[in-house]
Amino acid sequence: MIPVAGFDGATVAVLGLGRTGLSASRALQAGGAVPVVWDDNPEARAMAEDEGFEVRDLNREGAFENVASLIVSPGIPHLYPEPNKVIAASYAAGVPVDNDIGLFFKSFANGAWANFDTPPRVVAITGSNGKSTTSALIHHVLEVAGKDVQLAGNIGRGVLDIDAPGDGGVVVLELSSYQTELARALTPDIAVFTNFSPDHLDRHAGIGGYFAAKRRLFAEGGPDRAIIGVDEPEGVFMAAQLSEGAIDDRVIKVSAERKLSGPGWSVFTRKGFLSEYRKGRQIASIDLRNIKGLPGSHNHQNACAAYAACRCLGLAPKLIEQGFASFAGLPHRSQVIAQADGVTYVNDSKATNVDSALKALQAFDNIRWICGGLEKEGGLDALKPGLPNVRKAYVIGREAAQFAMKLDGVESAICTTMEAAVAQAVEEAEKGDTVLLAPAAASFDQYDSFEKRGDDFIARVEVCLT
């Protein structure tokens, strides 16, 4: 646990008692604060009471009297589409609002570091797509290299639940826009921006607000190294804004679409080969084509970002390559779950938006595509470059018919349920086909999470193949 510093003897309110809220409450208590907690869910409040925390209704008048700060879980809106009423009350009372990420960065360092040869470092990863895979890949490579490393944030453990790192330890954090948007402290040693595409637009009042939330990771604390994906205009802008000149190697540019030139530091892929360039010269190269855990150009982009981060931490290219080779990938992210009779079955349930689904469609050929769900803003037009790879779409979700109508030129079956979609796709699949779940939509019309949706796909495939 990372005890929260700066609140010894002070009362700190915590709103939201899921994993994040309970973790923050424990860490506040460990640091000497007095947490008072609230959640609209009675079961969550009961769990907190069982742990001995004081439950205080933060909706009542005067609830913020003598409260030093309010700590908010990431799913609770604090500005758009409108502030939660508890957060609005804290604003009115002049009580600062923060989250567990802000508490972590304020409390991470401690006096023991004075005796370390190498201070612990934090690598923080954000972006629209690929941040989970990039984070897990960095963590895996560092583990293979024998480093003291922990994975936390939006993946792995809660940031305040991790162990205090030892000499030379590394903490790898995946951070969503919900987390970067509100944290009052953001001071990673290395910050990674994978890519950018529209998402969570309601929460951020449009694409500008969404980008601003991501940008805070780089603008608030000023990381020692910034690794920036430059395949979108937002990345190009941010790299240019952070750099002091062409030879400024504090900014490392990453691309999965083109060779990067110039005297600076860059990592890119072309035709499945990763290349590192510094001062206009190639330093190293890795063949990514046969690494099963990193299929497709989108995973090659993740590999470039992870490679750059590991190089910043002092790892040799050959050691990084060894880590890549043994990386198995993450569940629900281009996860090969079965191969039978020449047909490959891939679970990419995490492809909850159009951009991530497009990358999945471009990673495979002869696709029997299971898609659909709760469609997000922006429509499906951006999928068009990947549709030539689709032999047939099997559409699920409560609005499957409307979803299918938007897939111009693609033969579609209105299946509605996962059971029906998988059964028909398995029956019709031929040797050389890929049955791919890449929904291009949220799961909440039928499932509690994309994980539940992916698990259902895996279960249905297993039934059909046995």
Alpha carbons 403 and 315: distance in angstroms, whole number: 46
Distances, alpha carbon 383 to alpha carbons 378, 391, 409, in Å: 11, 14, 12
Contact assessment for residue 364 and residue 436, using Cβ atoms and an 8 Å cutoff: yes
**Residue 297 has what pLDDT?**
85
Which runs of E-coded beta strand occur in 301-396? 335-340, 343-347, 367-371, 390-396
**Residue 155 has what pLDDT?**
85
- Tell me the DSSP string of 47-97: HHHHTTPEE--TTSTTTTTTEEEEEE-TTS-SSSS---HHHHHHHHHT--E
- Tell me the DSSP string of 222-288: --SEEEEE-SSHHHHHHHHHH-SSTT-TTEEEEESSS---SSSEEEEEETTEEEEEETTEEEEEEE-
Distances, alpha carbon 243 to alpha carbons 102, 254, 321, in Å: 25, 14, 28
On the question of pLDDT at 257 being above 80, the answer is yes
Helix, strand, or coil (residue 331): coil
**Residue 430 has what pLDDT?**
97
Q: What is the mean predicted confidence (pLDDT) over 195-213?
A: 91
Query: In order of start, what are the domains of the chain with their CATH numbers?
Result: 11-98 (3.40.50.720), 111-325 (3.40.1190.10), 335-465 (3.90.190.20)
Could you give the strand order of the β-sheet that contains 390-396, starting from the edge strand earlier in sequence? 335-340, 343-347, 434-437, 367-371, 390-396, 412-416
Feature table: binding site: 127-133
On the question of pLDDT at 414 being above 80, the answer is yes
pLDDT band of 355, cuts 50, 70, 90: confident
pLDDT band of 328, cuts 50, 70, 90: confident
Cis peptide preceding 42, ω within 30 of 0: no
Which amino acid would we find at residue 65?
A: E
pLDDT band of 127, cuts 50, 70, 90: very high
- Considering the entire predicted model, what is its pTM? 0.86
**Residue 330 has what pLDDT?**
84
**Residue 370 has what pLDDT?**
98
**Residue 126 has what pLDDT?**
97
- Tell me the DSSP string of 399-413: THHHHHHTSTT--EE
On the question of pLDDT at 377 being above 80, the answer is no
pLDDT tens readout for residues 84-119: 999 999 999 999 999 999 999 999 998 889 999 999
pLDDT tens readout for residues 10-30: 999 999 998 899 999 999 999
Feature table: binding site for ATP: 127-133
**Residue 57 has what pLDDT?**
96
Q: What is the mean predicted confidence (pLDDT) over 302-322?
A: 97
Average of per-residue pLDDT values in the chain: 94
